[in-house]
């Protein structure tokens, strides 16, 4: 919990990595490294085997590391106590020190029902009870035995939540759409912009709609405002039938008191505990929309896929520990090469919300500048995560990746088998060829000689040169099944964990979101008053006053 070092820069391995960067890292030529070592791919790739025996290949070999650098990064993980912190997380210790809480989302996917106590209480039974409730409820919605207030079955489920109570369910339902049931639709309302809920409600009928109000705290302003508008809409369209609310509203939360205050029957509440962080909550009751959409059996496979990665993370020596390797490579680029960003580009349309999901996971976790020892860092922490589905991104921002002035480490993700192998699998082959070509092009580049040999002359030559040597990690799954998706998410969770441990920061709080929320509350009140404001800075005063004038 309390770390034994203040700053990561004080660790001997950090200092040695600084020297290694100067000596070998900054001029490292990955193409050359492949030429010199025919076994490089074997050396730097790992295969993860899931509980159902499906595989995911992680090819780290196109990264700017050699054996010596890799060994030193592993040493850095050891010296910074990655293993100790990991073991503490799995033991239910309060590693979220600033909120004095355990970080125990791993207990949500404990399908083997290992003894996983927290605060002196076992979690396996409680987790199982909630899952049983989710199973019954999702089965009833799916088989039509749950009826709305006029006796019709539910056709549309609207999840109202924000941040972790939205991004996970949105991303997973999109990613696993191929496993959904025709005739049962899910919608997501997160934005406080009235347009979001208004556009969704336009096409729905109160008789056949179920609202899931998803909020860990049940106090988040956007969610409660959206949920209240949904309730008002429902009452308006059901002749003010207050009793009908019990058939059309459920809550996913840790806060029973507020759920009851809101008017939701506690029988329709699916609970979880404070040791589940918002951005780690898709595995909890917050995943109810997922269970309804893809069916409980698939939801359980999703949990089991994550559980398999948890066991790998917990039990595998660091040099073969796939998320540890992923996290350490990110540290290498972030802190030694000075990379500011990290691209995640899935070659998979169903994964189109995966980068957005990972933005919260990584940036809310590791966007910190104070260490566990309560001092400011003198080094960079979390990278700016961005991404879009490739191959679309190839036709927009990949130019900067290939020829820009910045180093942008990238993860490319592909499933070998498409869920929609249309036109004799032609689309899938084109998709896959781009997946292979992009990482190859980024690595091998094209030099002046080659450009000239292709006929370019004069001033055009430099424009056609690709420096190459741009690092990528290729992640190749067999298929994006619920189990594979669970494994991929858990991989990124533990990558984020590893980075945070090395940087000695608390990856589990989010104090940085508070200030804006507090100021918005104050300003919200001022917007109800016609008088111009003058108690902010001049820019904010003028913006508010212009809004009041134009409103």
Contact of 452 with 459, CB cutoff 8 Å: no
Strands 55-59 and 156-160 turn out to be: unpaired
**Which of 162, 200, 328, 343 is in the footprint of ligand F6P by CB under 6 A?**
162
Between 514 and 535, name the residue whose CB sits nearer to ligand F6P: 514
Query: Is 517 tagged catalytic?
Result: yes
End-to-end CA distance of the chain: 51
Q: Is 72 in the site for ligand F6P (CB under 6 A)?
A: no
Token pair, residue 92, equals 């239910």
**Which of 3, 8, 45, 220 is in the footprint of ligand F6P by CB under 6 A?**
220
For the CB of residue 98, give the shortest distance to ligand F6P in the complex, in Å.
Answer: 14
In whole angstroms, give the CA distance from residue 255 to residue 486. Answer: 27
From the CB of residue 432, how many other CB atoms can be counted at a distance below 10 Å? 17
Write the CB contacts of 479 (distance below 8 Å, at least 6 apart in sequence).
54, 415, 416, 417, 419
Three-state secondary structure call for residue 163 = helix
Count H helices, E strands: the chain?
23, 13
Partners of 49 in beta bridges: 55
Catalytic residue among 39, 202, 267, 395: 395
Q: Is 190 in the site for ligand F6P (CB under 6 A)?
A: no
In whole angstroms, give the CA distance from residue 359 to residue 140. Answer: 34
For the CB of residue 444, give the shortest distance to ligand F6P in the complex, in Å.
Answer: 41
For the CB of residue 431, give the shortest distance to ligand F6P in the complex, in Å.
Answer: 32
In whole angstroms, give the CA distance from residue 23 to residue 426. Answer: 46
For the CB of residue 224, give the shortest distance to ligand F6P in the complex, in Å.
Answer: 8
Say whether the peptide bond before residue 391 is cis (omega within 30 degrees of 0). yes
Token pair, residue 500, equals 């945070």
Q: Which of these, 405, 412, 363, lies nearest to 387 by C-alpha position?
A: 412
In whole angstroms, give the CA distance from residue 178 to residue 181. Answer: 9
For the CB of residue 162, give the shortest distance to ligand F6P in the complex, in Å.
Answer: 5
Of 80-88, 96-104, 132-140, 162-170, which part binds ligand F6P (CB under 6 A)? 162-170
For the CB of residue 494, give the shortest distance to ligand F6P in the complex, in Å.
Answer: 19
> Tokens 């001033």 correspond to what residue?
459
What is the number of the residue whose Cβ is closest to ligand F6P? 278
Between 217 and 369, name the residue whose CB sits nearer to ligand F6P: 217
**Which of 163, 323, 355, 471 is in the footprint of ligand F6P by CB under 6 A?**
163
Query: Is 530 tagged catalytic?
Result: no
**Which of 216, 304, 372, 494 is in the footprint of ligand F6P by CB under 6 A?**
216
Interacting residues with ligand F6P between 257 and 286 (CB under 6 A): 278-279
For the CB of residue 167, give the shortest distance to ligand F6P in the complex, in Å.
Answer: 8
**Which of 97, 208, 217, 434 is in the footprint of ligand F6P by CB under 6 A?**
217
Of 27-35, 141-149, 215-223, 239-247, which part binds ligand F6P (CB under 6 A)? 215-223
Helix intervals (H) in 295-387: 296-315, 322-331, 354-359, 365-366
Q: Is 165 in the site for ligand F6P (CB under 6 A)?
A: yes
Q: Is 215 in the site for ligand F6P (CB under 6 A)?
A: yes
Of 34-42, 157-165, 237-245, 381-389, which part binds ligand F6P (CB under 6 A)? 157-165
Catalytic residue among 121, 242, 517, 521: 517
Q: Is 513 in the site for ligand F6P (CB under 6 A)?
A: yes
Of 130-138, 173-181, 193-201, 212-220, which part binds ligand F6P (CB under 6 A)? 212-220
Q: What is the DSSP string of 236-257?
A: HHTTT-GGGHHHHEEEEES-HH
Token pair, residue 143, equals 């088989």
Query: Is 247 tagged catalytic?
Result: no
Catalytic residues: 364, 395, 517
Query: What residues line the site for ligand F6P (CB under 6 A)?
Result: 162-165, 215-217, 220, 223, 278-279, 364, 510, 513
């Amino acid at each position: 919990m309390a770390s034994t070092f203040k700053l990561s820069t004080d660790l001997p391995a950090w200092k040695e990595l600084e020297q290694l960067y100067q000596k070998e890292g900054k001029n490292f030529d990955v193409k050359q490294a492949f030429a010199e070592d025919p076994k490089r791919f074997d050396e730097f790739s790992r295969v993860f085997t899931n509980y159902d025996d499906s595989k995911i290949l992680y090819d780290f070999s196109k990264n700017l590391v050699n054996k010596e650098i890799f060994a030193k990064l592993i040493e850095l993980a050891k010296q910074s106590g990655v293993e100790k912190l990991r073991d503490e997380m799995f033991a239910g210790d309060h590693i979220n020190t600033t909120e004095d809480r355990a970080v125990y989302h791993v207990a949500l996917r404990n399908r083997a029902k290992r003894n996983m106590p927290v605060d002196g209480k076992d979690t396996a039974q409680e987790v199982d009870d909630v899952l049983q409730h989710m199973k019954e409820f999702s089965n009833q919605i799916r088989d039509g035995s749950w009826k709305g207030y006029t006796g019709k079955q539910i056709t549309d489920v609207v999840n109202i939540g924000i941040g972790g109570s939205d991004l996970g369910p949105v991303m997973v339902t999109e990613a696993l759409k191929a496993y959904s049931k025709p005739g049962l639709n899910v919608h997501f309302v997160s934005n406080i912009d009235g347009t979001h809920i208004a556009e969704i409600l336009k096409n729905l009928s109160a008789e056949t709609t179920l609202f899931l109000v998803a909020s860990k705290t049940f106090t988040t302003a956007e969610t409660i405002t959206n949920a209240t508008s949904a309730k008002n809409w429902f009452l308006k369209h059901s002749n003010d039938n207050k009793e009908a609310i019990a058939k059309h509203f459920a809550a996913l939360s840790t806060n029973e008191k507020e759920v009851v205050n809101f008017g939701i029957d506690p029988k329709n509440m699916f609970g979880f505990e404070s040791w589940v962080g918002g951005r780690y909550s898709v595995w909890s009751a917050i995943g109810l929309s997922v269970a309804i959409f893809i069916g409980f059996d698939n939801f359980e496979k999703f949990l089991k896929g994550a559980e398999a990665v948890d066991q790998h993370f917990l039990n595998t020596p660091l040099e073969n520990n796939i998320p540890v390797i992923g996290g350490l490579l990110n540290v290498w680029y972030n802190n030694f090469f000075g990379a500011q960003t990290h691209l995640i580009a899935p070659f998979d349309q169903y994964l189109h919300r995966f980068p957005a999901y990972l933005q919260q996971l990584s940036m809310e976790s590791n966007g910190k500048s104070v260490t566990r020892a309560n001092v400011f860092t003198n080094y960079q922490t979390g990278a700016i995560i961005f991404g879009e589905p490739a191959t679309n991104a190839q036709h927009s921002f990949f130019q900067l990746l290939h020829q820009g002035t910045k180093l942008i480490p990238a993860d490319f993700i592909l499933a070998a088998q498409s869920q929609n192998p249309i036109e004799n699998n032609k689309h899938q082959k084109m998709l896959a060829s781009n997946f292979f070509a992009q990482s190859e092009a980024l690595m091998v580049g094209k030099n002046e000689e080659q450009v000239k040999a292709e006929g370019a002359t004069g001033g055009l030559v430099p424009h056609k040169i690709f420096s190459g040597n741009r690092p990528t990690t290729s992640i190749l799954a067999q298929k994006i099944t619920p189990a594979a998706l669970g494994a991929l998410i858990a991989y990124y969770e533990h990558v984020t964990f590893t980075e945070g441990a090395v940087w000695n920061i608390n990856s589990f709080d989010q104090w940085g979101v508070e200030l804006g929320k507090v100021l918005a509350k104050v300003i919200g009140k001022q917007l109800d008053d016609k008088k111009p404001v003058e108690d902010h800075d001049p820019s904010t005063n003028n913006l508010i006053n212009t809004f009041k004038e134009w409103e």
